[in-house]
A and B are shown apart, each in its own frame.
Chain A
Amino acid sequence: MKIHKYSMSALMSLRSKMNEGILSLLPEVFIRGITLLALINLWKAAMQSASDLEIGISQMLSYTYASAILSDMLVVKTQASGWLSEGVLLRLYTRPLALLSQLVAETIGGWAASLALFSLPMALAAPLFGISLKPASPFFFVSLILCVSLGFAVDALFSCLSIKLGHMNWLVGRIRQAIAALLSGSVVPIKMLPFGMGEYMRFQPFASLGGATLSIFVGSSDTAQTIMLQIAWNLIIWPIALLALKKSQEGIVSYGG
């Protein structure tokens, strides 16, 4: 069965993370946990003296918490650029499976470890910090799927950019990191950007990634409008990503080995 092939790829990806033992995964979990706790307290410290904000403190804390536990999905990062720079991405062409589907399967497999070791325990611990993780709208799940889908398309575009820039994977990684911090709204809600920038910034494609989904999660945005925007960006970015991937195939297979 075809699905078995993909689930096997996902499992291999998970195994490659788990093979070295559970202890090896803990440092990352630990850093993420401490950063989240500090960030929550940063928001608390900042917002206690604030008034007239577009978003309330409990909403903001839920936003930050959900952003941390869903971070892998909110701004998708596949192994594509890394494999490209190591010259091993072409191995995906040697398997009887579609390139993108393999990437998706392996990426989802990679998420499983962090979902089990970080997201699940932190979600269970949320009430201890007085944080609610109940979505404000059931459409949050629809929005999350659209966000993940758009994330894969954007990731494919970044991989193609990496080829264009002579396989400078680390450089593309940093561009992506800067964009995620500034434009996706996954750390600071787009709505809270100073000088009224939020009104315009929500229309740019990166805002349809994590920020859009989180704003539906806490109920700080118009659900229908946000989902429509996400659908629109999916419809625009995916064809461009597929075309770019096709055009980049030569660059992928002729590099390294």
Chain B
Amino acid sequence: MGKTLLEVKGLTTKYITRFHENVYAVDNVSFAVEEGKSLGIAGESGCGKSTLALSLMGYYFPPLHYMSGDILIDGRNISGMAPDDVRLHILGAEIAYIPQAAMNALNPTQKIIRFIEDVILAHDPKMGKKDIYDLARKRFEILNLPADVLQKHAVELSGGMKQRTVIAISTILSPKVLIADEPSSALDVSSQRVVIKMLRDLMEMGYIKCMIFITHELPLLYNVTDDIAVMYAGQFVEKGTAKEMVFDPLHPYSKGLMESIIVPESGTRDIKLSAIPGTPPNLKNPPSGCRFAERCRYVTPMCAASSVRFLDVAGERNYRCILPEEKLREVYGRA
């Protein structure tokens, strides 16, 4: 068992709307990621995946507000820090973030090397430009990116190349934790593969120590991360290893998600694809009981009555449902 690098305990953050309503987008989320491991977070649009990413970085700018909970990076608690301090000491050096639309993250009037200078000088103002260039060129070469990209503008690069450049820029200081928020969903399958390969290389070469990967593409998560957590209405509903989650999901919501997987393999055309009916609950006033009860096909009268804890099953597996493990497997028709 490796050292725990990122630990999150009971993190709750909220948005305050312009009508002064509280929306708890991340509600009491706890998890830990060990050194050399990656955690995938899956869920529908609007379930709080991206808010969780922003919250982990300590990026609390209105309307997002921190409520409670701890975020420990290598034992150091960053949850109480002011956003400006976080930006100065944590972002880039301890925790790095890759946004979904990397294409829009690059200023079109600047050369790529300027962004790298920006990142490095923010943390080490004394470093010379020549040293920065050498460092950047070396890193780019290791990551199989052509070094002449450094002297180019963002508009000269293709979508996949931009995304890889953004990854290289944000990991230039070798952060401990990398948060990738849908890094490949705007790309086609071929560029996606190259981007994912680069993330894997970064992990293997030790430039990043652990990774949180957010996406709704489950086959991708299965191939990229060690563990998968499924998020629903601001809470984790199930967490386990990638294999368990895809082939033996316990929570009815995870099961629904896994049923929406389409892969080009024989037998795909015979599967009946089923969507989960209904919409997620409004997080302004979430249901007091199980948040999935309204859409659950195995709902019981008890579901809506009591709030459901995150239950431990043998090992690292957790899920949030009142039905016991055997009972769930029984209703799914799995022995």
Does chain A bind chain B?
Answer: no
